Amino acid sequence: MFINLGLLMQMKYELILSIHADVVWEHSIRCFNETRLRKLIDQALDERDVASFYRYSAELVDLRKG
């Protein structure tokens, strides 16, 4: 049985590239959501909205936990 090493290397490269793209995408989404929640927390503090402050703070804690 003949194994095409060039094709195998190409497949490995594409897999690694795909995994890297997923990691970058997830990091971007996490950063976006963290920034959004920080702004909402600041807004809740400015408006003295205790319920929203606790809700957004809990979401931020959950996001940071992973």
Could you tell me which of 66, 59, 7 has the C-alpha nearest to residue 38? 59
Query: What are the tokens at 50?
Result: 């205790």
pLDDT at position 1: 64
pLDDT at position 3: 76
Give me the residue spans of the domains in the chain: 35-66
pLDDT at position 35: 98
Number of other CB atoms surrounding residue 55 within 10 Å: 15
Residue-by-residue pLDDT tens, the chain, 66 positions:
677 888 889 999 999 999 999 999 999 999 999 999 999 999 999 999 999 999 999 999 999 998
pTM over 0.85: no
CA 60/CA 37 separation, integer angstroms: 6
CA 34/CA 12 separation, integer angstroms: 33
